[in-house]
Amino acid sequence: MTVSPRIPTFEDVKVAASRIFGVAHRTPVLTSRTADGLSGGTLFFKAENLQRAGAFKFRGAYNAVSALDAEARRKGVVAYSSGNHAQALAYAATLLGAPSVIVMPKDAPEIKVMATRGYGAEVVFFDRYKDDREAIARGISEERGMTMIPPFDHADIIAGQGTAALELIEEVGQLDVLITPLGGGGLLAGCALSAKALAPGCRVIGVEPEAGNDGQQSLHKGEVVRIAPPKSIADGALTTFVGDRNFPILQAKVDDIVTVSDAQLVQTMRFFAERMKVIVEPTGCLGAAAALRGVIDCAGKRVGIVLSGGNVDLKALSAFFAEA
């Protein structure tokens, strides 16, 4: 008998908010008159680039590990990730006294690999174009008795990520539009749960890199579409499909999914660095790029945008700007 995956609800987001309270940062909401002028709207940037471990992923990771019983924590956790979930889970596990193993692509940014190890995890590498990362992680889970916590297709992960939008709407009030980056769908699904519960009239829009629009294709087709491993500077959104738990939420609560180019991401990173004095990684700029470059109509609207992370190597950042 096939067991359907548990789909989280807004009630789960509220439980997650209580679990992470006092541990995860309640990140600031940034505004910019220049950004408002470029977009024609009133923009509120939820600065998850300033979250612990440098990305929103800490919310879901801490929620998921803290939900485990004592024996499961003793045995530890395993995950696969290109970087931000890796760091977040390693950090959360260490804070909660659990060992961790992270399966990372061998071409992951060095800064993310070093940080993951620095937070206490054992790192196992794989080739993202040849190997099955999930199978590798599952093998480690079975061999060592560790709990596998995937980066997006997990009820507690989704609920934890939804706390970012919960905090944003609590702070700034009703929104006309909420925009988040989209990789595997955990952030978008969780934030959609919060937005539709707290601001029912709010349009929820996900943004993917042009090269990896599996979510956009899936939403339009009405079923999960799998694609070949994409290539983009948005390394945190290089998934090949959205999760089984995420997709039903996206279908029910997400109004649209759009894409932006790598060039638009670089332009947006430069805007944040030069005008707002903050570092946002390429993936973290997906939503902002869509708003600032006219991909999403923000004119006259109150728009919330999640800046999902800030973990970018400074040498890489300099190279992006030099090439542009």
* pLDDT tens-digit readout, 68-108: 999 999 999 999 987 889 999 999 999 999 999 999 989 88
Q: Which residue, 142, 101, 243, is CA-closest to 183?
A: 243
Per-residue pLDDT tens listing for the chain (324 residues): 334 578 999 999 999 999 999 999 999 999 999 999 999 999 999 999 999 999 999 999 999 999 999 999 999 999 998 788 999 999 999 999 999 999 998 988 788 889 999 999 999 999 988 899 999 999 999 999 999 999 999 999 999 999 999 999 999 999 999 999 999 999 999 999 999 999 999 999 999 999 999 999 999 999 999 999 899 999 889 889 999 999 999 999 999 999 999 999 999 999 999 999 999 999 999 999 999 999 999 999 999 999 999 988 888 889 989 886
pTM: 0.94
Q: Which residue, 21, 7, 112, is CA-closest to 63?
A: 21
Inter-CA distances, 195 with 9, 13, 14, 190, 304, Å: 12, 11, 13, 9, 10
Give the catalytic positions in this structure: 57, 82, 208, 212, 214, 308
* pLDDT tens-digit readout, 194-246: 999 999 999 999 999 999 999 999 999 999 999 998 999 998 898 899 999 99
Q: Quick one: CA dihedral 208, 214, 216, 218, positive or negative?
A: negative
Token reading at 181? 């980056």
**pLDDT value for 2:** 36
Reported in sequence order, the residue ranges of 202-249 that DSSP labels E, i.e. its strands, are 203-209
**pLDDT value for 4:** 57
Helix locations, 146-285, DSSP H? 155-161, 163-172, 186-198, 214-221, 246-253, 262-271
Domains of the chain are 10-56+156-323 (3.40.50.1100), 58-153 (3.40.50.1100)
Angle formed by the axes of helices 10-20 and 163-172, nearest 10°: 90
